[in-house]
Copies of this chain bind each other. A is one copy, B any other.
Amino acid sequence: MAQYSEALDGVFTALADPTRREVVRRLGRGPMSVGDLHREFPMTLPSFMKHVRTLEANGLIRTAKTGRVRTCALRRDRLALVDDWLADQRRVWESRTDRLEAYLTDTDPEQETREQQ
């Protein structure tokens, strides 16, 4: 549970930046080299590498070096953590709606009239 919570901290931190979200989006189409990715962003390579390292440290991407080329790939399993967390919130809201509905049904004046007939 603590591990899941720490993983969520990391994923949300990584996604709290427009450059990093755009990297995630582009890697959604398939793996890319750092060089090709960087060409699409108006910043220096060292600045861009900071974002790549944040994404990797927080588990959202995987990188591997072959010769002089570092290739980045998206870890969709980590994005699924956000999906799971949102689904969890929805369950809380739905149980609240169920309780509200039960309360409204219990105190529905029309229903009471019907029951008295």
The count of residues in chain A whose C-beta lies closer than 8 Å to any C-beta of chain B is: 28
Cβ–Cβ < 8 Å partners of A28 in chain B: 89, 92-93, 96
Q: Among B12, B21, B96, which residue has its beta carbon within 8 angstroms of that of A29? A: B96
A55 CB, nearest partner CB in chain B, Å: 13
Task: Establish whether residues A12 and B16, one from each chain, have CB atoms under 8 Å apart when the complex forms.
Answer: yes
Q: Among B10, B18, B76, which residue has its beta carbon within 8 angstroms of that of A93? A: B76
Query: Which of A36-44, A79-87, A106-114 is near enough to bind chain B?
Result: A79-87
Task: Establish whether residues B18 and A96, one from each chain, have CB atoms under 8 Å apart when the complex forms.
Answer: no
Q: Mark A2-27, 1 if CB is under 8 A from B, else 0.
A: 00010011101101111001001100
Q: Which of A55-91 contact B (CB under 8 A)?
A: 76, 79, 82-83, 85-86, 88-89
